[in-house]
Amino acid sequence: MSAPVSVIIPTLNVADRIGPCLGALAEALTAGLLREVVLSDGGSTDDIAGVADAVGARLIRGARGRGAQLARGAEVARGQWYLFIHADTVLGPGWVEAVQRHIARTPDHAGWFRLRFDDPSAAARTVAGWANLRSGAFGLPYGDQALLTPARLYRHVGGHPPIPLMEDVALARRLKGRLRPLGADAVTSAERYAREGWLRRGGRNLSTLALWRLGVSPEKLAERYERR
């Protein structure tokens, strides 16, 4: 029986920092869990092709936009399960066992990881705590928490919409009632929060979510996001 999980990572000029993300996947290969890694690139000008060759990943290219990149990755993936993860996220210890349990016990549900930042500060713990509370209470995990989903369920709900922002929340809403916590961490870079300020960045994310729920288009939200 083939290994069940295809890992899909959207990339855009991340060749110099995707190493830890890819390195954390090695234990899944040893455990017979990992079928393939798909790098869905959105127009990088770095040596992402060299990275793909070095680790045996499959590289596909297309227009920039995380929603479209993730959807393209899923189109070519061959596993029975998809694991979507950002290039600056590293799955924490025990993640393989958590995924194996989920596949065995809840094969018709998607699963999300607990968010943790690579920053020990109280601000980082507070923001991560809110994200995990939101994920559990409202079924709204974000993309930086990584998402595991059966390929059949992903296709049934329509997958990621090809939008430039909020693609993760849109998919979570499509999966409503079919999401479970995985019991392992996704450790995400705190660089942007540290650079912009934890309060400012957190408020920005909340306001973006609120505007999207009020009907503002993802395209306008992306313009607003880039301007800041």
Tokens of 206: 């909340």
In the predicted structure, residue 125 carries a pLDDT above the cut 80: yes
CB 79 within 8 A of CB 169: no
Mean pLDDT (the chain) is 92
Chain mean position to CA 107: 19
Which band of pLDDT confidence, cut at 50, 70 and 90, is reported for residue 30? very high
Average pLDDT over residues 118-134: 92
- With tokens 């094969």, the residue in question is 107
Decide if pLDDT at 228 tops 70. no
Chain segment 36-90, per-residue pLDDT in tens: 999 999 999 999 999 999 999 999 999 999 999 999 999 999 999 999 999 999 9
pTM of the model: 0.93
Q: What is the pLDDT of residue 70?
A: 97
Strands annotated E in 62-178: 81-84, 89-91, 110-117, 147-150
Tell me the pLDDT tens digit for each residue of 82-104: 999 999 999 999 999 999 999 99
In sequence order, the β-bridge partners of residue 148 are: 83, 111
pLDDT band for 196, please (50, 70, 90 cuts): confident
Average pLDDT rounded to a whole number, residues 163-175: 91
d(CA 106, CA 179): 10
Domain 5-195 adopts which CATH fold? Spore Coat Polysaccharide Biosynthesis Protein SpsA; Chain A (3.90.550)
State the pLDDT at residue 219.
78
